[in-house]
Amino acid sequence: MGTGGAASTGDPVERLRRWERAGGIWRVMGRSPGGAVVVAMETCAGEPMDQFTSSDPELAGYVGEREMSDGSMDAGPFFHGTKAELHPGDLLRPGRESNFGDRDVANFVYMTATMDAAIWGAELAVGDGRGRIYRVEPTGPFEHDPNLTDTRFRGNRTRSYRSREPLRVVEEVTEWEGHPPEVLQNMLDNVAKMREQGIKAINE
């Protein structure tokens, strides 16, 4: 790997943490034998914003063996789309059937920091009720949803995350507008095609 990039000034660890809390992503572009780390900073959509090099041992310890940030510092707020009727204080736990693929039991619960992704969750969720969106808060560690991160598009533009720990419902979000019927139908057709092809969500 290369070791380009301007030398970092200030606290590089806090710089990365601030970036993560805002929903940004960082990637390790190189590590030198002398301990310098080259870090590239991107928007959640994968657009490059900055790159720097630092020999600060605290930075090396912070990034560890990771090649990119795991999303665990995103400050939210977070949302969850579903067709279930929930109430403040309720806990969303892993162990329910997935809405995608063969509907295997999901080992994770999911949330997003973008309203559009939450709307898709509400519209695509299995069930007969109306779509609902709730503001939620994680009760434990979370990470990028690998089904959406660096798969079709670089980055995590929907700021979608998953956790093995419950999500606590804070409140229902009542003011939102669904996608146009033709856009929703196109997505439903794509989901149905994925099921026919046996495409499953990454569940590990």
pLDDT tens, position by position, 68-106: 998 888 999 999 999 999 999 999 999 876 655 455 678
pLDDT in tens, 167-197: 999 999 999 999 999 999 998 888 888 777 7
Distance CA 105, CA 201 (A): 11
Q: Which residues lie below 8 Å from residue 155, measured CB to CB, with a gap of 6+? A: 25, 42, 43, 44, 45, 46, 47, 149
Q: Which CATH superfamily is domain 78-196 in?
A: Rifampin ADP-ribosyltransferase domain (3.20.170.40)
Buried b (16+ CB within 10 A) or exposed e, 150-187: eeeeebbbbbbbbbeebbbbbeebeeeeeeeeeeeeee
Distance CA 78, CA 80 (A): 7
Instruction: Domain ranges for the chain, please list them.
Output: 6-63, 78-196
Contact assessment for residue 108 and residue 160, using Cβ atoms and an 8 Å cutoff: no
pTM of this prediction? 0.79
